[in-house]
Chains A and B, each alone.
Chain A
Amino acid sequence: MSDAAATLPLLALIVDDEPQIRRFVKAGLEMQGFRIAEAKTAREAIDLAVMRAPDLAILDLGLPDADGATVLAAIRSWSQLPVIVLSVRSTETEKIALLEAGADDYIVKPFSMAELLARVRVVLRRSAPRGTSSPLIRVGELSLDLAQRIVSRDGAPVTLSPKQFALLTALARHHGMVLTHRQLMRELWPQGPEEDVQYLRILMKKLRDRIEPEPARPLYIATELAVGYRLRTQEQLDAILRTTPAEE
C-alpha cells in the first residue's frame, strides 16, 4: 500500500455526518499516505464522487439528507469505484442488500482503524488495473492457479469436482471479500432457484473437506454468518491465527 501511495497518492472519499468519525478516519488514512476528500451529506458525496473521481469511498449509511444506500446506487450507476460501507450494527438483511447493491465490503461501528485499513487494502487490490493482479492465489498452504485451473494444498494437487472448482473460483475472483449466498448461487446455478441455500452449504462442506487442513475449523474460506462466504487473504488468515487462543 505505502509503495503505491508513494508513487501516486490515492484519493479516499470519506462520507459521514459525524465529524469525529471523519476526523479519525481521515487521520488514519492520511498516515497511510492517502489524500482525503470529505462529505457530510449524500448530495456532497455524489458531487465529490463525480468531480474528484476518488480511488476509494468510505460511506456511512445514516446520512442526514438521504440513505447511504442511495449514494451507493448513484455511484454504482456509473462507477466501479471501491466502496466500504460503515454502519451501526446493521442487520444481516441490510448487509446482504448492500453487498448485492454493489458495496465491496462493510464494517460495523465501532471499528478499529486497523480493521478498516485491512479492508481498504483488500478492496483496493480488486480495483487494481488488470494485469497487475496475479492469477495465482496463495492462502496458507492452499494455492490456486486460476489460469491453469490447478488447486494444490501443501504442494500436493487437490482434485475438485467442476462445481467445487467453480465455487472456489468465484470466491477467488473476489479474494478477501464477502460474496452473499445469493451472489454465489446465481454464479453456480444460473438457472436454479436462488432461495435454496442448502445446496450451496452442502457444496461448501465438500469443498472444505478437500482444501481445508481441518475441515471442522475452516481457515481458508470464512463463513460470514447469515450473509455469505469469504476466501481469506494471507493477511486475514494471519489476523485470525494471531487472535486465536492456543488449541489443544
Chain B
Amino acid sequence: MKGRQAPGDLIGATIMVIGATGLAASLTLIAPLESVSAIYMLPVLVSAVRYGTKPAMLAALLGAFSTSLFYPPVLSIQVVQPWQIVDLVISLSVALVMGRLAAQTRDEMLAARQREGQIKRLYDLGSAMAAASDAEAIYTIVAAHMSEALSRPVAVFVAGASGRIDSIPSPVVGEAQERVLKPAVERTLAAPPGAARDRAEFVEVPGGESWLLFPLGDAERAGAVLAVAFGRDGVAPASEVIEEARLILREGSRSLERLGLTRAVEERNMRQRSDELRDILLESVSHELRTPIAGIMGSAGVLAAAPALRDEPQLVELACGIEAESRRLDMRIQSLLDVTRIRSGALVPRLEAIDLLDVVNAALDAAADRLREHRICREFGPDLPLVRIDAVLVEQALINLLENAGKFSPPGSTIRIGVRTEAETVRITVSDEGAGLEPSQREQIFERFYRGARHADLAGGSGLGLTIAQVFVAANGGRIDASSAGPGQGTRLAVTLPRLREAPAREGDEHE
C-alpha cells in the first residue's frame, strides 16, 4: 500500500522475528542445525502478506542478523566460516526477493478489492440516477454516494435562476459556514466547463473547518457544487480521495447529459408533431377551398370558348366575368393562407443565389394582367449583382407592391420599377403617380395587418398585400420603406436587400 507505514506493522514484524528466534532456539536444543536461516523465511513471508514491503524488509534484515547468532560459537555475531557467509547472503537475498513479491501480490489484491468496491458503488450510483427525472434529484443522489464513498458529510449548492444559489437543506452546513462557502461556490460555478471541469477547490473556513468543492454539471455548464466536509483536521485531502470523488462526479455529469438529451429530444418531437399538424391543416384548407374554385374557373373558361356561345357576346362576357372573379377569389384565399403561414411560423425562406433581374421580371410578368391600364417603365442599373434570397417570396412581395401601385394610381399613369446596386445592398423601387401619402401614413400602411378588425377587407389587396410583402422581404433579410412627396404626389416603395458578397468563379464558359 502507498501512504504512511503504521509503526504497529514494524513492531508486528519484529515480534514475529523474535518468535522465529524462539522456535529456532528450541529446535537447536532438540537437534543441532548447521543453519536456521530457513526458519527466518516465515516471518518475512507473513509480514509481507500482512503488512507490506517495509515490515517484510525489516523481518529479512532482523532474520539475517539472528541467523548469524546461531552460528557456532552460538550467540556471537562473528562470522567465521565461508559457508556461513554464503548462507547469510543467500538467505538474505531470498528473504528480500520473496518479501517483495509477496508484498506486491498483496498490493494487487488490495487494489483489486478496492476497484471492485468502487465499481460496485458507481454501478449503484448509475442505477440510482437512471431513475432520476430531474437534475436536482441527480445532485442529491451524487452527494449521497459521495458522502458514503468518502465517509464524509457532503453538502449540495444548486445554481438557481438569475445567479442565485440555493443550498439543498442539509444538516452539515450551518448558516455561518454557508456564508463563508458561498463566494467559493460562486467561483466554482462560474468557472468555464472543460479544462476546469475536474478542478477541485479547497476552502478553509475560519474556525478551522475545511471543505473541498467540486463542480457538477453537464458538458454545457456546472449546475451545482458539491462541498465535502473535511472537519477540523485541516489536512489537505489525499489525491485518491479526489480521484474517487471525480469518478463519482463524472458519472453524475453523464447522467445529467443523458437527462438533457432526453428532454431535448422530447421537445423536438413535440415541436415536429405540431409543425406537421399545422402544415397538414394549411394544406387541407388550401385544397378544400381552392379545388371548387378551380372547377368554377375552368368551367367558366370552357363556357366562354364554347362554339354554342359564339354568337352570344353578352353570355361570353358573363362567363369571362365568372372566370376573372374566381381567379380573384383564389388570390385572396392565397393571401389568407400566406398570413396564416406567417403567423404560425411556417414561413421558412429557402435562400439561393439568383439574378435579381429574373425575380423582378417574373413579378412584372405575373402582375402584368392587373397593370394593363398602366404604363410600365423599367429603370435597371447596369451590372446588377446576384443576391441570396428566396426568389418565390421576393417575387410575391414585388407582385404585391406592383398591384398596390396599380390600385392606388389612375389608369394611364406610369409605374416605374427601378433596380439599383449600392455598396452593401440592392434596392428595388416601385413608384406610382397616385394618391401619395401623408407623412404619418408612411409607417401605417404596413400596419393594417395588426389592426385587422378595422379593415373588413382582411384578404383584400390593399393593406394586407403590403404587410405580406414586408414580412416576406424581412424573411430575406431586407426591408421595405415607403416615401412620398405628399398627397397627390405619388408613392415610392423601396425594397432593400443585402448583396451577395463573393463573386462566383467564372468557370464553365470557356470563351471570354
- A residues near B, CB below 8 A? 18, 20-21, 23-25, 27-28, 31, 62, 88-89, 92, 109-114, 116, 161-164, 188-189, 192, 196-199, 201-206, 216-218, 223, 225-226, 240, 243-248
Asked whether B305 lies within 8 Å of A31 as measured between CB atoms, the reply is yes
Pairwise interchain contact A245-B375, C-beta atoms closer than 8 A: yes
Contact yes or no, B365 A240, CB < 8 A = yes
- Give every chain A residue within 8 A of B511 (Cβ-Cβ): 161-164
Query: Is there an interface contact between B392 and A245, defined as CB atoms closer than 8 Å?
Result: no
Do residues B376 and A226 form an inter-chain contact, with CB atoms below 8 A? no
Interface size class of chain B, counting residues whose CB lies under 8 Å from the partner chain = 35 or more
Q: Assess whether B510 is interfacial by the CB under 8 Å rule.
A: yes
Residue B297 CB within 8 A of the other chain: yes
- Are the CB atoms of A28 and B298 closer together than 8 Å? yes
* Alpha-carbon gap, A115 to B408, bound state (A): 29
- Residues in B whose Cβ lies below 8 Å from that of A201: 353-355, 386
**Would you call A217 and B286 a contact (CB within 8 A)?**
no
6 residue pairs, one from A and one from B, having the closest CB atoms: A20-B295, A161-B511, A110-B294, A24-B298, A109-B294, A113-B301
Question: Is B326 positioned at the interface, with any CB of A under 8 Å from its CB?
Answer: yes
Q: How far is the CA of A113 from the CA of B299 in the complex (A)?
A: 8
Residues of A contacting B287 in the complex (Cβ-Cβ under 8 angstroms): 62, 88
Q: 18 A-B Cβ contacts within 8 A? A: A20-B292, A20-B295, A31-B306, A88-B287, A110-B294, A188-B508, A189-B508, A199-B504, A201-B386, A216-B357, A226-B354, A226-B392, A243-B365, A243-B368, A245-B368, A245-B371, A245-B374, A246-B375
* Interchain CA distance A27-B309 in the complex, whole Å: 14
Q: Tell me the nearest residue of chain B to A161, going by C-beta.
A: B511
B302 near A18: Cβ-Cβ < 8 Å: no
Measured CA separation A245–B416 after assembly (Å): 12
Q: Are B302's CB and A198's CB within 8 A? A: no
Query: Is A202 in contact with B510, judged by CB distance below 8 angstroms?
Result: no
Of the residues A109, A199, A202, A223, contact of B362 by C-beta under 8 Å: A223
With beta carbons under 8 angstroms apart, the residue of A109, A198, A204, A218 that contacts B504 is A198
Chain B residues within 8 Å of A189, by CB = 508
Check if B323 sits within 8 Å of A112, measured CB to CB: yes
> Given A18-B291, A25-B298, A89-B290 in contact, is the A163-B305 Cβ separation under 8 Å?
no
Of residues 377 to 420 in B, which have CB atoms within 8 Å of A's CB atoms?
377-378, 380, 386, 390-392, 395, 414
Contacting residues, chain A, for B298 (C-beta < 8 A) = 20-21, 24-25, 28, 110-113, 116
B205 CB-CB contact with A under 8 Å: no
Residue numbers in B under 8 Å from A28 (CB-CB): 298, 301-302, 305
A243 to B327, CA, bound (A): 16
- Contact B299 A20, beta carbon cutoff 8 Å: yes
Given A24-B302, A161-B510: A197 in contact with B352 (beta carbons within 8 A): yes
A27 to B299, CA, bound (A): 8
Q: For the complex, is B187 an interface residue (Cβ under 8 Å from A)?
A: no
Most buried by A among B291, B372, B374: B291
Bound CA span A21–B298, Å: 7
Majority DSSP secondary structure for residues of B touching A: helix
Question: A31-B302, A161-B511, A201-B353 given as contacts; is B392 within 8 A of A92 (CB)?
Answer: yes
Chain A residues near B296 (CB, 8 Å)? 20, 110
A124 to B241, CA, bound (A): 85
Q: Assess the A31–B307 pair: CB atoms within 8 A.
A: yes
Least CB distance from B380 to A in Å reads 5
- Whether the Cβ atoms of B353 and A198 lie closer than 8 Å is yes
Q: Is the CB of B295 within 8 A of A245?
A: no
The reply on B95 being an interface residue by CB < 8 A is: no
Of chain B, the residue at the smallest CB distance from A27 is B302
* A112 and B297 contacting across the interface, CB-CB below 8 Å: yes
Give the distance in Å from the alpha carbon of A243 to the alpha carbon of B367 in the complex: 10
Q: How many whole Å from A223's CB to the nearest CB in chain B? A: 4
Q: Which residues of A contact B395 (CB under 8 A)?
A: 225
| Chain B positions 72 through 106: 1 when the CB is less than 8 Å from some CB of chain A, otherwise 0 | 00000000000000000000000000000000000
Q: Which residues from chain A contact B512 at a C-beta distance below 8 Å? A: 161, 206
Q: Please measure, in the bound complex, the distance between the C-alpha atom of A217 and the C-alpha atom of B508, giving whole angstroms.
A: 24
Provided the pairs A163-B509, A201-B354, A247-B375 are in contact, do residues A225 and B391 lie with their beta carbons within 8 angstroms? yes
B238 to chain A: closest CB distance in Å?
A: 60
CB-CB under 8 A from B353, the residues of chain A are: 197-198, 201
* Cβ distance B301 to chain A, nearest Cβ, rounded Å: 4
Cα(A223)–Cα(B350), bound, Å: 18
Contacts A218-B361, A240-B365 known; A113 to B294 CB distance under 8 Å?
A: no
Say how far B181's CB is from chain A's closest CB, in angstroms: 58
In the complex, how many angstroms separate the beta carbon of A169 from the nearest chain B beta carbon? Answer: 15
Does B373 sit within 8 A of A, measured CB to CB? yes
Is B483 positioned at the interface, with any CB of A under 8 Å from its CB? no
Q: Which residues of B contact A244 (CB under 8 A)?
A: 364-365, 368, 376
Alpha-carbon separation in the docked complex, A192 to B287 (Å):
40
- What is the CB-to-nearest-CB distance from B72 to chain A, in angstroms, rounded to a whole number? 100
Contact across chains for A205 and B327 when beta carbons are under 8 A apart? no
**Residues on A with beta carbons closer than 8 Å to the beta carbon of B355:** 201, 204-205
Q: Does B218 contact A (CB under 8 A)?
A: no
Quick check: A89 and B286 within 8 Å, CB to CB?
A: yes
Q: Is B293 an interface residue (CB 8 A)?
A: yes
* A198 closest partner in B (C-beta): B504
**Does B359 touch A at the CB level, under 8 Å?**
yes
What is the distance, in angstroms, from A70's C-beta to the closest C-beta of chain B? 18
B294 adjacent to A161 (CB under 8 Å): no
Interface string of B266-302 (1 = CB under 8 A from A): 0000000000000000000011001111111111011
Partner of B295, one of A21, A226, A240, A243: A21
A89, closest chain B residue (CB): B286
Given the complex, which residues of A lie within 8 Å of B290, measured CB to CB? 88-89, 109-110
Q: How many Å lie between the Cα of A246 and that of B362 in the bound state?
A: 16
In the bound assembly, the distance between CA atoms of A116 and B323 in angstroms comes to 14
CB distance from B507 to the nearest CB of A (A): 6
B304–chain A nearest beta-carbon distance, Å:
8
- Complex interface: chain B residues within 8 A of A225 (CB): 358-359, 362, 391-392, 395
Select from chain B the residue with minimum beta-carbon distance to A244: B368
The answer, among A109, A112, A163, A164, for a CB contact under 8 Å with B301, is: A112
Assess whether B432 is interfacial by the CB under 8 Å rule: no
Whether B334 is near chain A, meaning CB under 8 Å from some CB there, is yes
Partner of B509, one of A161, A196, A247: A161
- Chain A residue at smallest Cβ distance from B381: A216
Q: Is B369 located at the chain interface by the 8 A CB criterion?
A: yes
Q: Which residues of A contact B414 (CB under 8 A)?
A: 248
A206-B376 in contact (CB<8A): no
